[in-house]
Amino acid sequence: MDLVLRPGRPDDAAECGRICFDAFSRIAHAHGFPSDIPGTDTATGMFEMLLNPGYYSVVAELDGRIVGSNLLDERSPVVGVGPITVDPTVQNGGVGRPLMQDVMQRAAERHAPGIRLLQSGYHSRSFALYAGLRFEFRETVACLQGPRSE
């Protein structure tokens, strides 16, 4: 597998946004949940904001094609991972692990006192990936969706 990791650039926003929306909506729908991200445009807008100072970014290319990305929120001493997303067509092929290792390496170089992330409880593969990289479960966060009752 000819996988290359490189820094993210502002002009990656559209393709990273498309992959991000695809990846999150597929895993959510597979478990009967609505997607956390309403559409590709929202995801692209999010990447336009994130591919900027304050965030470290890494993009994975497979044979010259973008197949995934990961970010590190560096605005606090404890840095925050995500979103990490891999194109559903190449998931479970070993792209996610180097994307995680890259941001963990970055955090180590900056002597970050900790790394945090949020993980959807229904996604056992991402949990396996993080647990294998020695992340530890800390707390449950409830995500309530839908209209507020009066």
Q: Does 25 bind ligand COA (CB under 6 A)?
A: no
In the complex with ligand COA, which residue's Cβ is closer, 48 or 93?
A: 93
d(CA 103, CA 149): 40
Minimum CB separation from ligand COA for residue 52, in Å? 21
Q: Which residue is nearest to ligand COA (CB)?
A: 96
Minimum CB separation from ligand COA for residue 124, in Å? 5
Q: Regarding beta strands 85-86 and 79-81, do their DSSP bridges make them parallel or antiparallel, or are they unpaired?
A: unpaired
Which x/- pattern, by CB under 6 A, does the window 35-74 give for ligand COA?
----------------------------------------
Question: DSSP state, 54?
Answer: T
* Positions 122 through 141 that interact with ligand COA (CB under 6 A): 123-126, 128-129, 132
When binding is defined by CB under 6 A, the residue of 8, 16, 17, 27 that contacts ligand COA is 27
Task: Give the residue from 80, 136, 120, 78 showing the smallest Cα distance to 103.
Answer: 80
Q: Which residues of the chain form contacts with ligand COA (CB under 6 A)?
A: 23-24, 27, 82, 84-86, 91-97, 119-120, 123-126, 128-129, 132
